[in-house]
Amino acid sequence: MRLKKLILHGFKSFADRTEFVFDAPITGIVGPNGCGKSNVVDGFKWVLGEQSAKSLRGEAMLDVIFNGSGTRKPAGMSEVTLVFDNPKREDGTRTLNVEFDEVSVGRRLFRDGTSEYQLNNQLTRLKDIREMFLDTGVGVDAYSVIEQGRVSALLEANPEERRLIFEEAAGISKFKAKKKESQRKLERVDQNLLRVTDIVSEVEKQLRSVRVQAGRARTFQEHSTRLSELRLTYSLHEYHTLHTALQEMESQRDDAKFRLDDIATELQRSQNELANKREAVEALAQNKQRSEYELVQARAQTEANEQRQEFANRQLAQMAEQIATFERDRDEAIVKLGETRTALETEKAELQRLTEELQAKTEEIDHRQQAFRDGQLQVNNLSREIEQGKAAILDLMRKLSQISTRISAVEVERKNIAAQQTRLSERRQIVIDEIEALDARRGELQSKLDDALAAINRQQAAMNAKRDQSTALGKHIATLSETLGSAKEHRSGLVSRQKLLQDLESRREGVSEGVKAVLRQRDDKFSFIRGLVADVLRVDVEHAQVIEAALNGQDQTLLSNTRDSALAAGNALEELTGR
């Protein structure tokens, strides 16, 4: 494996895309102070996962992004890419466990703080990159980057510090890292196992309680179901009874309404007949009044005719007296004519006068006789009119009697209709009272029906709630059972894993062969050996990594009961362990 390229873009002073090609065994980068030579090394460290801004000579990680200059705008992103040659070895393996002849590792940082890592232009995790470079000497703290001043630090380092470099070069650090990771996983497994054990015990306790509760719930559910069924049956029976009674009441109410309608119709018809009778009575009363008026007029006319007849009779009597007087005067005149015939000549003028007077009297008598005849005719006419008036009066009296009879009949009929109307009103009031009683009974039945339906709904809701509660409890039990099954499976896996780890521990997996050889001969030659440092240490899980880092690989150091015993067997131990 060999580094081929280093590409910087927007990283610190490298505003433009800058590519370093390492095609020679040794490549030197020279330049005056401040030209950015150290930024190349910072880019190398940064792309491999350096997380400390101070190690990159900055205050914050965003300081690695080009911040602009007098003529350039600040960059929005910093990107560094390393390209490695990854050829196959003779045994077919590769240094980097990636099936590519060329491997590129990149890191990007945006001004919003978003960071990403890439492996062959594919997003990946920093952990994967670090695992890939384990035992290759490439890394943030590996010996592939030796900064100024670190050479003297390496020369002045104690054996343990130098040992880390040798282990990195020998490929041991990868296994140690895996061992640490495995130990951390084991510790997490132990913690998970403890939690699972606690959970299992708690779930078992809950399961026992839940089983008891489930039994009680089933019993309660059965009794509740039976009680609900009985209540429902009773409510349905009561509902049907009330419904039947309600239907009967409604039928009676409908019949009463029909009877009331008939009575109302009959009452309306009677009222109409009564109104007609009243109109007829009023018409008859008007006819009676008109007849009485006509009778009064006829009586007045009769009295007037009688007065006129009496006046005519008086006139006839006067005319008869006048005629008698005229006849006496005529007789006297004739006598005088006879007596005075002699004096006729002398009295011729007188006679002529008398003759003229007689002629005048005769004409007057004729006129009076004609007037008498006219008066007699008028009297006869008046008599006929009087007879006609009497006949009309008799007719009117007959009509009046008929009208009075009809009025009496109508009055009797009116009284009958009023009595019938009173009876109909009383019957109507009785029917109304019956309807009101039926409505009240219907309201009571409807209230009972509503109460029964409400009770049914409450029982149904309670039954549904119990059913839902039972279903939820069943689901909870099923969930607990599934959790218990999963916990048991997980526990079985953890037990198997624990057995595997115990087997690995018994076989001292990860321990050097020399140390294993000493431990195998402990009972025979090295009885003074107590074991490894890792065997006797008991630390909390949260302090394990700190203790492991502090031991720095000394966890495989052998412990002796006494110093003298260890010194006495020093040569033998050195041959076996190589230390």
pLDDT digits (tens, 9 = 90+) for 463-509: 667 667 666 666 766 676 677 667 677 777 777 766 766 665 666 65
Domain edge (last residue) among 111, 136, 168: 168
**Residue range(s) defining the domain that contains residue 158:** 1-168
Beta bridge partners of 103: 84
Higher-pLDDT residue of 64 and 512 is 64
pLDDT of the residue at 292: 67
Tokens for 507? 């076989």
- pLDDT tens-digit series, residues 212-271: 666 776 777 777 777 777 777 777 777 777 777 777 777 777 776 777 677 767 767 766
| DSSP label of 139 | S
Percentage of the chain beyond pLDDT 90 is: 7
Element (H, E) at 530: strand 529-532
C-alpha–C-alpha distance, residues 426 and 454, integer Å: 41
C-alpha–C-alpha distance, residues 576 and 579, integer Å: 8
pLDDT of the residue at 23: 83
Element (H, E) at 558: strand 558-560
**Is 220 inside any structural domain?**
no
- pLDDT tens-digit series, residues 562-576: 666 656 555 555 555
**Is 578 inside any structural domain?**
yes
Cα dihedral 245, 249, 255, 257 in deg (nearest 10): -160
- pLDDT tens-digit series, residues 369-381: 676 667 667 656 7
**Is 65 inside any structural domain?**
yes
Longest alpha-carbon distance in the chain: 245
Average pLDDT of the chain, as a whole number: 73
**Is 515 inside any structural domain?**
yes
Tokens for 479? 């969930």
Q: Nearest to residue 119, comparing CAs of 132, 109, 130, 104?
A: 104
- The CATH number assigned to the domain holding 137 equals 3.40.50.300
Given a cut of 90, whether residue 110 has pLDDT beyond it is yes
For the ranges 139-148, 177-186, 550-559, the maximum mean pLDDT occurs at 177-186
pLDDT of the residue at 141: 59
Query: Tokens 């099936």 appear where?
Result: 99
The residue type found at 254 is D
Given a cut of 60, whether residue 545 has pLDDT beyond it is yes
C-alpha–C-alpha distance, residues 436 and 249, integer Å: 11
**Is 226 inside any structural domain?**
no
Specify whether the CB–CB gap between 90 and 124 falls below 8 A. no
Find the mean pLDDT for residues 397-406.
Answer: 68
Given a cut of 60, whether residue 578 has pLDDT beyond it is no
pLDDT of the residue at 78: 93
Higher-pLDDT residue of 128 and 6 is 6
- pLDDT tens-digit series, residues 43-79: 888 888 888 888 788 888 888 899 888 888 999 999 9
Specify whether the CB–CB gap between 84 and 105 falls below 8 A. yes
Given a cut of 80, whether residue 122 has pLDDT beyond it is yes
For the ranges 110-114, 327-331, 372-376, 405-409, the maximum mean pLDDT occurs at 110-114
- The CATH number assigned to the domain holding 564 equals 1.20.1060.20
pLDDT of the residue at 261: 72
Residues 6+ apart with CB under 8 A from 418: 274
Q: Nearest to residue 2, comparing CAs of 99, 82, 106, 92?
A: 82
Specify whether the CB–CB gap between 101 and 87 falls below 8 A. yes
Higher-pLDDT residue of 532 and 84 is 84
For residue 65, the SS3 value is strand
Beta bridge partners of 107: 80, 117
pLDDT of the residue at 262: 73
Domain edge (last residue) among 107, 137, 168: 168
Domain edge (last residue) among 168, 189, 206: 168
Q: Whole-model pTM?
A: 0.33
**Is 141 inside any structural domain?**
yes
pLDDT of the residue at 116: 93
HSE at residue 137, side-chain half, CA atoms within 13 A, is 12
What radius of gyration, in Å, describes the C-alpha atoms of the chain? 75
C-alpha–C-alpha distance, residues 351 and 359, integer Å: 11
Tokens for 181? 């990771």
Cα dihedral 122, 125, 130, 133 in deg (nearest 10): -20
C-alpha–C-alpha distance, residues 481 and 472, integer Å: 14
How many independent structural domains does the chain possess?
2
Given a cut of 60, whether residue 577 has pLDDT beyond it is no
**Is 11 inside any structural domain?**
yes
pLDDT of the residue at 155: 67
Percentage of the chain beyond pLDDT 70 is: 50
Q: Nearest to residue 22, comparing CAs of 41, 43, 4, 1?
A: 4
CA distances for 506 relative to 486, 499, 524, 526, 535, angstroms: 29, 10, 18, 18, 11
pLDDT of the residue at 83: 93
Residues 6+ apart with CB under 8 A from 177: 131, 134
Q: Exposed, middle or buried: residue 445 (CB in 10 Å: 0-12, 13-18, 19+)?
A: buried
Specify whether the CB–CB gap between 43 and 27 falls below 8 A. no
C-alpha–C-alpha distance, residues 558 and 535, integer Å: 10
Find the mean pLDDT for residues 102-116.
Answer: 92
pLDDT class for 195, splitting at 50, 70, 90?
confident
The residue type found at 240 is H
Given a cut of 80, whether residue 20 has pLDDT beyond it is yes
**Is 97 inside any structural domain?**
yes
- pLDDT tens-digit series, residues 328-345: 766 665 666 566 566 556
Query: Tokens 């006609």 appear where?
Result: 388
Find the mean pLDDT for residues 143-159.
Answer: 66
Tokens for 337? 């004519």
C-alpha–C-alpha distance, residues 96 and 52, integer Å: 26
